[in-house]
Homo-oligomer: A and B are copies of this chain.
Amino acid sequence: MQAAFFKLADIIPYNEAEDYMKKAVVKSYGKKGEKVVNMNFAAIDNAISGLVEIKYPESWATTTEGAAPVKPADNEYFKNIVFPILAQEGDSLPVSAFTPDGTVPTGTTQYEKRGVAVKIPQWIAENCIQCNQCSYVCPHATIRPFALDEKEAAEAPASTKLVQMKGKGCENYKFTVAVSPLDCMGCGLCVNVCPAKVKALKMVPQESQSEQQKAFDYAVANVTKKDIPFADTTVKGSQFNQPLLEFSGSCAGCAETSYARLITQLFGERMYISNATGCSSIWGGSAPSTPYTVNRDSGRGPAWANSLFEDNAEHGLGIYLGQKAIRDKLIGYIKQLNYEDADKKAAVEEFLATVDDGKKNGAAAKALIAVLEANADGELEKKILAEKDYLAKKSVWIFGGDGWAYDIGFGGLDHVIASGEDVNIMVFDTEVYSNTGGQASKASQMGQVAQFAAAGKAIGKKDLAQIAMSYGYVYVAQIAMGADMNQTIKTLVEAEAYPGPSIVIGYAPCEMHGVKGGMGNCQSEMKRAVEAGYWQMFRYNPSLKAEGKNPLIIDSKAPTGSYIDFIKSETRYSRLIQAFPERAEELFTKAEEQAKAKYDRLVKLGQIYE
């Protein structure tokens, strides 16, 4: 590249540039021997001899039209703000175009339709076992299962592929898996995780699937949620819930968004998110569009905010305490309601009985609001209705990466879990500062190559989970979606239900890791990591202690794979072998020993609690 640059840019005579470059080669590689030096010389020479001029059409030089982004007709925010920015006319927007408090509507990535994937999945209906794992792992919510009733099936576009839905109680429904060709990033995770005997998905050229956009858009806009016997706390059932995080700008195959998307399917309609700076604040809120969205039926979805890198946990705690103060006041009013009518009384009692139950309290609040609105002249009713959005129990989440949780935001994270308050923390653990180019964090592992650890990190990974467990009243877990999909969803549900602080640390392979075969193997890489004893899965649930049970449940089996073989398959480790083979040997061996000791220690900790 450097040779080509100097040849074309003509800053100094090329002969001189060549001379400088070749001297630099000798200086850098001289001690590696003549062969290496000659290979580098050849690279310089071949760059020049290989230069090919590509002529662009002459019309390009004089055109006045850019590529037009998709232009939706029916969204004012998109029309007035997003479209001008996407058209690179953001400078023309007056300050008055923006809201004074910095809030923006959610659900706007749906209008972007980037269409960046070369290949996207095609659903082969006849092979499908209807497990929904493709949707469960999809980082971008671009592949989704639907159950259609007779009418919906009849009205569906011709490109919609329908099969009989499997399972007792599903006899009246057709099943489809819809793919959004213009939103899919083409990572191929869905194909790779498909457990059907003969894969029910295959990657095909995007342009061959353009008719599928209609099928996807129809299903998303029209197909209702059905009363089917798959609990939405299961892998399969959860995927019939509308994802409230969609079409974000995260990398293809990103593990972080797979976790976050799932969380929105479980709790999104009553969710606040305080998001630390990092990848998750970029894919979570890249101006001008927002991937968090609202449920089509309820109109509710996550409220999302990003404060500073160093205060995200505290910011989330503040959100929690703020809404709690208002809600506690309203609960006080509700206790003063004195209805004689049995139905009204029942609505009040149901609300108060479920006040700490996030799952049930939403419906109870809805019913209570209906009662209050029918008595809207009452003083108490007026006061409660004025803040009715605070009535239903909320689910407060604090999102961030390892750079935040282990390092820069750790002081605050510790303070927040120590507080005992009912907040949920989700750590996307990529073991590196992914968003800023890959600096080592305290979550980086021994021997891992990263910025500030060019010779491989010499000390082990900080044990954030063990630190959190030291409080005894914090729900603490480590998960790895690709290693155990059931454990992941079970953990998230338990963490959210626990009436105190919860922290879930999710292993998140990342573009930065150099996973063999690319990020389409992200989920299987998690499985390999657990089998090799590189990552442990477990749940520490203080509620079990109160029931006289062992609070620590270890969900990982003892390692069966080779730790060193595993890490050698990722370039973040293998590059150390190239650069410093002896040090690599030493650090990798030590890292393997420590990983074994860590698992043993976990097992013994489990015995302590018994």
Contact = CB atoms under 8 A, between A and B. Distances in A.
Interface of A: 407-412, 414-415, 418-420, 442, 458-460, 462-463, 466-467, 470-473, 594, 601, 604-605, 608
A459 B473 contact: yes
A415 B420 contact: no
Contacts of A407: 415
Nearest to A468: B467
Nearest to A464: B470
A442 B419 CA distance: 9
A462 B605 contact: no
A44 to B, nearest CB: 37
A568 to B, nearest CB: 24
Nearest to A500: B459
Nearest to A608: B604
A459 B418 contact: yes
A420 B459 contact: yes
Contacts of A471: 460, 462-463
Given A414-B410, A415-B442, A420 B470 contact: no
A463 B470 contact: yes
Contacts of A467: 467, 470
Contact of A410 (B411, B470, B608): B411
| This chain: copies in complex | 2
A591 to B, nearest CB: 13
A458 B415 contact: no
B415 A414 contact: no
A323 to B, nearest CB: 21
Given A418-B459, A601-B608, 18 more contacts: A407-B415, A408-B411, A411-B411, A411-B412, A411-B414, A414-B414, A415-B442, A418-B442, A418-B462, A419-B459, A459-B473, A462-B470, A463-B470, A466-B470, A467-B467, A467-B470, A472-B594, A604-B608
Nearest to A597: B472
Contacts of A419: 459
A408 B314 CA distance: 13
Contacts of A466: 470
A378 to B, nearest CB: 32
Given A412-B411, A414-B411, A608-B604, A460 B472 contact: yes
A429 to B, nearest CB: 16
Contacts of A412: 411
A503 B418 CA distance: 21
Interface centre among A408, A412, A466 (most CB of B within 10 A): A466
A409 B415 CA distance: 11
A460 to B, nearest CB: 7
A79 to B, nearest CB: 44
Contacts of A594: 472
Nearest to A419: B459
Contacts of A420: 458-459
Contacts of A463: 470-471
A163 to B, nearest CB: 51
A577 to B, nearest CB: 23
A257 to B, nearest CB: 28
A460 B460 CA distance: 29
Contacts of A442: 415, 418
A503 to B, nearest CB: 14
Given A411-B412, A442-B415, A470 B473 contact: no
A487 to B, nearest CB: 23
25 contacts: A408-B411, A409-B411, A410-B411, A410-B414, A410-B415, A411-B411, A411-B412, A411-B414, A415-B442, A418-B442, A418-B462, A419-B459, A420-B459, A459-B473, A460-B472, A460-B473, A462-B470, A462-B471, A463-B470, A466-B470, A467-B470, A470-B470, A601-B608, A604-B608, A608-B608
7 nearest CB pairs, A to B: A411-B411, A466-B470, A604-B608, A463-B470, A467-B467, A420-B459, A410-B411
A409 B463 CA distance: 19
A470 B410 CA distance: 15
A115 to B, nearest CB: 43
A407 B467 CA distance: 15
Contacts of A473: 459-460
